[in-house]
Amino acid sequence: MLKRSLMTPGPTDIPPDVLLEAAQPSMHHRTPQFSAILAKASKGLKEIFQTRGPVLTLFSSGTGGMEAAVANLVLPGEKILVASIGNFGERWGKIAAAYGAQVEKLYYAWGQAVKPAEVDKRLRANKDIKLVFTQHNETSTGVCNDIQALAKVAHKHGALLVVDAISSMGVIPYFTDKWGVDVTISGSQKGFMIPPGLAFIHLSSRAWQRVKRKKQAGNHGYFYFDLTAARDKLKDPKSPTSPWTPSVSLVRQLKVAVDMVVGEGMEALWARHHRLAEAMRAAVKALKLEFFAVANRSDAITSVKVPKGIDGAALVKKFRDEWGVTIAGGQGDLKGKIFRIGHMGYAEEKDIIQAVGVLELILKEMGYKFTLGVGVTAVLKSFAKK
């Protein structure tokens, strides 16, 4: 017997009602029944994105949503700026390069945050750059960028800001309209608490102008990720739908999950995630572990350096195979050097207590020196404060 839970930066655990929705009999997608579900889910997405504009659902992972932004916005040979602080930031650069863009790289060491003043400088030096790509929460490092400041800087130079908010939406405060973000992308398996397979995207009216310009030029080099087609099919007042066959079961789950998120309320939901992250950070400090993120530690995940003398891969494996709790290791060069504990989506106080308890037991077994109980005590103190 082993109770299993996911405390990774996505996929996250899924609430039972959302799981059971996937076990409902098949439904055809060209029916009033499905249109009603898609319409309700799309309405909830607007609340979660904090926007009045439509949020489109794409039938792909988050990476497909990122590609949709590049495919629909970037002109061939165009110079763009990628402000990267980790693995997913670098993915922006790779996608744009695959589309023939000239990528101006403002790449930070992993663990750092983007400095808006440096984006400003880079845009001043490259007046031809009209698109800036970055992350809100960088999943590989647990660092959060200041999107409001970055939007301001981009707009000052007449550029649009494109943000991957895949692991932050529905977790950390994000205001699409208030901040004036031009393109925002998210995915289903993080704050949305449903299985992977859906991406969400919102575009500002400025961004739609650009999409129109590229599309009119013809030979645009995309089809499945055609955002104009997706928008036109969704806004059909008679029967909102999607241009291609939608992932029906995932959309049904989305509707149930979005109802839960909106029902909790965005302020309460953000506060919950902050509470969990604060407790996790208190435990890390009490255990005298070292944070990997040196700036803007995210409320979505906590990244921690593996202590000297401890086998990082073995630690992650023990969590999963001996204790039933799946956490994440490091990506790329960080493999074995950090571990990442997600506290997003269907996560609450009890999950932090147990995860820190397990962490202590594993660290003790692996020879790390500390007083057993200081981690969970710090967690309890953090929660007792409220």
Catalog residues that contact a second copy under the rule CB under 8 A: 4, 6, 8, 10-14, 19-20, 22-31, 59-64, 67, 70, 76, 94-95, 97-100, 187, 189, 195-197, 219-226, 244-250, 320, 326, 328
Instruction: Identify which of residues 37 and 287 has a Cβ nearer to a second copy in the complex.
Output: 37
Q: Are 166 and 187 in contact (CB under 8 A)?
A: yes
| Least distance CB 155 / a second copy (angstroms) | 27
Instruction: Identify which of residues 247 and 303 has a Cβ nearer to a second copy in the complex.
Output: 247
Sign of CA dihedral 278, 282, 283, 285: positive
Q: Distance between CA 309 and CA 175 in Å, rounded?
A: 43
Q: Distance between CA 267 and CA 25 in Å, rounded?
A: 35
Instruction: Identify which of residues 205 and 219 has a Cβ nearer to a second copy in the complex.
Output: 219
Instruction: Identify which of residues 6 and 258 has a Cβ nearer to a second copy in the complex.
Output: 6
| Least distance CB 363 / a second copy (angstroms) | 21
* Sequence-ordered list of residues with C-beta below 8 angstroms from that of 368, at least 6 positions apart, any chain: 307, 309, 310
Instruction: Identify which of residues 92 and 368 has a Cβ nearer to a second copy in the complex.
Output: 92
Instruction: Identify which of residues 34 and 179 has a Cβ nearer to a second copy in the complex.
Output: 34
CA nearest neighbour of 146 among 138, 74, 73, 170: 138
**Amino acid at the residue 182:** D
Count of CB atoms situated within 10 Å of the CB of 31: 13
Give the ranges where the chain is alpha helix by DSSP (H). Answer: 16-21, 32-49, 62-73, 87-98, 116-125, 147-156, 176-179, 205-216, 227-235, 248-264, 266-286, 312-317, 323, 349-365, 374-384
| Least distance CB 85 / a second copy (angstroms) | 20
The residues with which 163 forms a beta bridge, in sequence order, are 134, 184
| Least distance CB 303 / a second copy (angstroms) | 16
| Least distance CB 346 / a second copy (angstroms) | 9
| Least distance CB 189 / a second copy (angstroms) | 7
